[in-house]
Amino acid sequence: MPNKTENEYLIKALKAFKRKVVIISPDFKIISINTDPDLILKHDVTGRLCYQALYDRTSHCDNCPALKVMETKQPAMVDRINTPNQGKVLCLYSYPILSGDNIDALVIFDFDFPSIEGLEVKLKRSNAFLRNLILSSVDAVLASDMNGKILIFNDAAAEISGYDVEEALNNINIRDIYPGDGAREIMKKLRSNEHGGKGKLKSYIVDVKGKNGDNIPISLNAAIVYEEEREVATIGFFHDMRETFKMKKELENAQIQILQSEKMASLGKLAAGVAHQLNNPLSSITLFTQLVLEEYKLEEGARNDLMRIYKESQRCRDTVKELLEFARQTRQEMRPHDINSAILRTLFLLENQTLFHNIEIEKELSSSLPEIFGDIQQLNHLFMNVILNAADAMEGKGTLSIKSYRPPQSNSIIIEISDTGPGIPQNVLPHIFEPFFTTKEEGKGTGLGLSLVYSIIDNHKGKIYAKSRAGKGTTFFIELPAANPDNGDTAIE
Ligand SMILES: Nc1ncnc2c1ncn2[C@@H]1O[C@H](COP(=O)(O)OP(=O)(O)OP(=O)(O)O)[C@@H](O)[C@H]1O
Ligand SMILES: [Mg+2]
């Protein structure tokens, strides 16, 4: 038991304490109160109900810490933020004075923990800020504990994966997000030192499995979260790569097409150069043969031979002329053209090639076609590629049929190019316009022909498709818009 002096000092200490200290009985009557300088009490309040004397209330306060103490017989602290100030000091902390199991009295403090309270608010604010940061991230953010339970799953993660946030937090495991053994693989990489340091994984391209089963390519930056060396969670930032990959593919296609047309253009230049060189000697040959025929009286045999030379050299000149026309320009120039001439020119250049010797060519070209607004060089390449494919497919033997017509009431013309080759199997047909798709053996085809054809048709606002049945040959249908439809000029630009 403290002696008298100790008791006196205890009382003095309580009175000198700068915070409110109230001692109440279990029925809320004030037994004692210190003289808090801020608590200006006009009358002696001992013996009165605390809520009445201090707060002018008719019943006890809702957030009274003494109530909690009475329930638990343990010290209790209430939340300052949720405690209405009521214009007076606050009752924040209470502990019981017990006698055996019974509460004799309760001590109540206006106990301010300034540092803790400040920290709590700061912590709450910074937690809210971090939460916001994560939730509003454009990239998906996913965190999981070491059992794979998902702890954080933001809206971007929901958008990529197709799972909604609630579903992800409650029903799925991180292992469900990656196809196959993906999650384990990632943990292995995270634990190794080789992917950005221990516990880290940087810009790792991997697939995630969407809710609908689709695999979605992402770039993953991930880390293990440690608490004193112990792994407690993993966090991953996903960047959706679908759009990037799509753009990359489009760029590759465009590059392929540029390469192909550059190749064609340089071939064209070469052909044009050779044709020019041949043109002059050929003109001389025809001219001088003509002169000999006219100026000398020759016997029948010699005349016939010379006539043959004359005719063949004229044929050569025609070929050279067509070749020059075929390779005439390298820059795109859109203007009206007779599509039949483009078809005939290509056939003229091809039909004397060995590949075509045993191919019968049937032409059914409508004589009343409107002109096509287009680039003649591209149109030449278009027919050249489709006809060469047909001849390749028939391995030099069969019938090539070319039809051109304008369907009734249509402002387009159709060109049908059919062969009697082996046809295109159904599983191959959807791929024939893809760049680098070829069924030809190495060295025989690059697989670029039809992809170029496709882009030429696209450039001319037309359509192309193939119909084929295995063993029954193939027909390519090419539809091109007329340069001058019936009424007025709606030529494409
Ligand atoms: N008339 C056809 N009959 C059968 N298969 C065809 C026919 N035309 C195209 N194909 C198929 O389409 C594929 C792609 O044709 P494409 O012209 O793009 O490339 P390629 O002819 O193989 O090579 P390249 O034209 O670059 O030399 C061919 O490999 C072939 O399998
Ligand atoms: Mg081809």
CATH code of 217's domain: 3.30.450.20
In contact, 19 and 111? CB cutoff 8 Å: yes
pLDDT of res. 240 = 92
431: DSSP letter = G
Of 297, 331, 365, the one marking the end of a domain is: 331
Looking at the structure, tell me whether residues 352 and 383 fall in a common domain. yes
CB 6 within 8 A of CB 19: no
In this predicted structure, what is the pLDDT of residue 84? Answer: 63
> Three-class SS of residue 198?
coil
pLDDT tens-digit map of 272-319: 777 778 888 888 898 899 899 989 998 999 999 999 999 888 888 877
The tokens for 441 are 């053996």
Domain count, the chain: 4
Residues 48 and 58 in one domain: yes
> Domain of 473: which CATH number?
3.30.565.10
The pLDDT tens digits for 414-442 are 999 999 999 999 889 988 988 778 999 87
Q: If we measure between CA atoms, which residue out of 451, 456, 458 comes closest to residue 432? A: 451
Sheet holding 412-419, edge to edge: 358-365, 397-405, 412-419, 474-481, 463-468
Structural domain boundaries enclosing 8: 4-111
Residue 384 CA, ligand 2 centroid: distance in Å: 9
361 and 474 housed in the same domain: yes
CATH number at residue 251: 1.10.287.130
Q: What is the mean pLDDT of the chain?
A: 85
> Considering every ligand atom, which ligand is closest to the CA of 448?
1
Q: Tens digit of pLDDT for each residue in 214-247? A: 999 999 999 999 988 889 999 999 999 999 998 9
Cα gap 403→423, rounded to integer Å: 19
**Mutation test of ligand 1: which of 355, 429, 450, 453 has the most ligand atoms closer than 8 Å to its C-beta?**
450
Q: Which of 366, 353, 447 is nearest to 405 (CA)?
A: 366
Residue 260 has pLDDT above 80, yes or no: no
Do residues 376 and 452 share a domain? yes
Residues 77 and 194 in one domain: no
The domain boundary, picked from 178, 213, 240, lies at: 240
Number of the ligand 1 atom closest to the C-alpha atom of 444: 27
What would the mean pLDDT of 117-146 be, rounded to a whole number?
A: 80
Q: Say whether both 201 and 61 belong to one domain.
A: no
Give pLDDT tens digits for 438-475.
999 877 777 878 888 888 898 899 999 999 988 889 99
Nearest to 317 by CA among 354, 285, 345: 285
Query: Which residues line ligand 1 at a C-beta cut-off of 6 Å?
Result: 385, 389-390, 393, 419, 421, 424, 428, 432, 437-440, 445-451, 474
Picking from 111, 143, 172, the residue at the C-terminal end of a domain is: 111
> Based on the number of CB atoms within 10 Å of its own CB, is 384 exposed (0-12), middle (13-18) or buried (19 or more)?
buried
Q: Is the model's pLDDT at 204 over the cut of 70?
A: yes
How many angstroms from the chain centroid is the CA of residue 7?
78
Summarised one tens digit per residue, pLDDT across range 11-70 is 788 777 777 788 999 999 999 887 655 555 656 788 999 888 888 889 888 888 899 999
Q: Tell me what the mean pLDDT of segment 91-107 comes to.
A: 89
Better-scored residue on pLDDT, 312 or 80 = 312
pTM: 0.47
Cα torsion 440, 444, 448, 449: sign:
negative
Q: Are residues 325 and 345 in the same domain?
A: no
Same domain, 365 and 460: yes
